């Protein structure tokens, strides 16, 4: 394929198949799905055969009423077979993958992530709308210090938050900025590939994680990547000690590693990383983490006064004080170190929520319910 990225080739073929399918099918169901995804503030559509579809609008679940909301089983199965399960029964193929399956595709001109799973023998599908274009990092509402983290040639940057908090979008925007601003080799490990990156100033190669795809798991993918002459490695999710150790090894050996965890704050993130290790290995893990961690971006989407959602983000920058907190196992002192380091770009979640409330973007109730330290925030905005 020469310089043409294999992931780009697959995406183009998928787009072609979907476009033909979209035009040739009796596509009432697909057209209804497209219409729902195009509605304002709709991020996800949930589908079960012969039942009304549900959407997540501005963070809340709503059932879709009327004929347009009914999921047609024949068309749903035909669509899934055309893009994923051509050689098998859909339910059998999903069962062979452990009862659930993730992949990304195009629906017309909409990029989507699809999760199929079985519940009490019934097929369920969750469709998440992805941005067609990778957003600019500065457009996401992240703290200004995030760009500074990306200027490091090596180390570990963690992007954390709950499912649906925008971690994948933040990672994609970070990779895109590095792709434009540096001259190197970027390798991404994703499950599934959501945003397709094209070579700019960097050579970018994307690998999809699964037994049927490019790489069997994240930990082996990171280990292999270190032999593939990378400058930057992006890891879609750290799920176990093996992947965490591979990320730390890569960061120690001169690579810039960006990865995600399902945690809610910087402090919780440090605790989760260390909890991957048995007690006898934890002291060494603290030392390595203190030396290699550049920062943590913790984010969540919160409902605005206008009924949409906005990003609330915490930024922990590993300065001398925080490195000492980690190395000396003074994890509870990290938040205080962040508070005292605000002039250096540190942003706690409470400070971000307080600013959003005082600027009239979110209500007091939303600010308090979104806080990990509600008691402290309540005193500040009383």
Percentage of the chain lying above the pLDDT 90 cut: 82
pLDDT at 133 over 80: yes
pLDDT at 25 over 50: no
pTM of the full predicted structure?
A: 0.85
What is the average pLDDT across 357-379? 96
What does the pLDDT look like over 243-256, one tens digit per residue? 999 999 999 999 99
pLDDT at 15: 42
pLDDT at 210: 81
pLDDT at 340: 94
Residue 16 pLDDT level (bands cut at 50, 70, 90):
very low
Same fold, 6-130 and 137-347: no
**Least confident range of 9-13, 69-73, 338-342:** 9-13
pLDDT at 4: 37
Residue 382 pLDDT level (bands cut at 50, 70, 90):
confident
pLDDT at 12: 45
pLDDT at 131: 81
What does the pLDDT look like over 73-121, one tens digit per residue? 899 999 999 999 987 799 999 998 899 999 999 998 899 999 999 999 8
Residue 72 pLDDT level (bands cut at 50, 70, 90):
confident
With tokens 């055969």, the residue in question is 49
What is the average pLDDT across 127-150? 93
pLDDT at 311: 97
Higher pLDDT, 126 or 132: 126
Fold entry, domain 6-130:
Beta-Lactamase (3.30.450)
Residues 137-347: name the CATH superfamily. P-loop containing nucleotide triphosphate hydrolases (3.40.50.300)
**Least confident range of 52-56, 104-108, 297-301, 339-343:** 104-108
With tokens 């059932």, the residue in question is 63
**Least confident range of 103-112, 309-318, 342-351:** 103-112
What is the average pLDDT across 233-238? 97
pLDDT at 45 over 80: yes
What does the pLDDT look like over 208-230, one tens digit per residue? 998 777 999 999 999 999 999 99
Residue 27 pLDDT level (bands cut at 50, 70, 90):
low
pLDDT at 109: 87
Domain ranges of the chain: 6-130, 137-347
What does the pLDDT look like over 264-279, one tens digit per residue? 999 999 999 999 999 9
Residue 300 pLDDT level (bands cut at 50, 70, 90):
very high
Please say whether the beta carbons of 299 and 312 come within 8 A. Answer: yes
Residue 161 pLDDT level (bands cut at 50, 70, 90):
very high
Reduce the secondary structure of the chain to three states and give it as a string: CCCCCHHHHHHHHHHHHHHHHHHHCCCHHHHHHHHHHCCCCEEEEEEECCCECEEEECCEEEECCCHHHECCHHHHHHHHHHHCCCCCCHHHHHHHCCCEEEEEEEECCEEEEEEEEEECCEEEEEEEEECCCCCCHHHCCCCCHHHHHCCCCCEEEEEECCCCCCHHHHHHHHHHHHHHHCCCEEEEEECCCCCCCCCCCCEEEEEEECCCCCECCHHHHHHHHCCCCCCEEEECCCCCHHHHHHHHHHHHCCCEEEEEECCCCHHHHHHHHHHCCCHHHHHHHHHHHHHHEEEEEEEEEEECCCCCEEEEEEEEECCHHHHHHHHCCCHHHHHHHHHHCHHHCCECHHHHHHHHHHCCCCCHHHHHHCCCCHHHHHHHCC
pLDDT at 314 over 90: yes
What is the average pLDDT across 156-184? 96
pLDDT at 56: 95
pLDDT at 108: 86
Residue 306 pLDDT level (bands cut at 50, 70, 90):
very high
């Amino acid at each position: 394929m020469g310089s043409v990225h294999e992931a780009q080739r697959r995406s183009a073929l998928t787009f072609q198949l979907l476009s033909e399918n979209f035009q040739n099918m009796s596509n009432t169901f697909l057209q209804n799905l497209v219409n729902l995804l195009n509605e304002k503030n709709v991020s996800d559509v949930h589908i079960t055969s012969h039942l009304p579809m549900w959407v997540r609008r501005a963070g809340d679940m709503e059932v879709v009423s009327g004929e347009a909301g009914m999921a047609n089983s024949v068309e749903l199965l035909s669509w899934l077979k055309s893009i994923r399960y051509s050689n098998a029964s859909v339910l059998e193929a999903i069962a062979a993958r452990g009862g659930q399956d993730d992949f990304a595709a195009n629906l017309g001109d909409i990029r989507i992530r699809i999760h199929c799973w079985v519940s009490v023998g019934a097929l369920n599908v969750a469709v998440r709308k992805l941005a067609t274009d990778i957003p600019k990092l500065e457009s996401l509402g992240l703290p200004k210090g995030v760009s500074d983290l990306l200027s490091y040639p090596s180390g570990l940057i963690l992007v954390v938050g709950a499912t649906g908090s925008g971690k994948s979008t933040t990672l994609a925007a970070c990779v895109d900025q590095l792709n434009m601003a540096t001259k190197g080799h970027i390798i991404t490990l994703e499950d599934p590939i959501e945003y397709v990156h094209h070579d700019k100033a960097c050579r970018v190669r994307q690998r999809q994680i699964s037994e049927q795809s490019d790489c069997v798991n994240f930990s082996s993918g990171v280990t292999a990547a270190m032999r593939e002459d990378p400058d930057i490695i992006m890891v879609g999710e750290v799920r176990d000690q093996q992947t965490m150790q591979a990320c730390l090894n890569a960061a120690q050996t001169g690579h810039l590693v960006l990865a995600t965890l399902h945690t809610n704050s910087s402090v919780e993130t440090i605790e989760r990383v260390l909890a991957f290790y048995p007690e006898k290995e934890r002291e060494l893990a603290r030392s390595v983490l203190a030396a290699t961690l550049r920062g943590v971006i913790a984010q969540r989407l919160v409902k605005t006064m206008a009924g949409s959602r906005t990003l609330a983000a915490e930024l922990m920058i590993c300065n001398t004080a925080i490195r000492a907190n980690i190395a000396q196992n003074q994890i509870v002192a990290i938040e205080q170190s962040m508070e005292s380091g605000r002039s250096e770009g540190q942003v706690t979640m409470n400070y971000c929520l307080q600013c959003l409330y005082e600027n009239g973007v979110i209500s007091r109730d939303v600010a308090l319910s979104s806080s990990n330290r509600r008691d402290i925030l309540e005193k500040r905005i009383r």
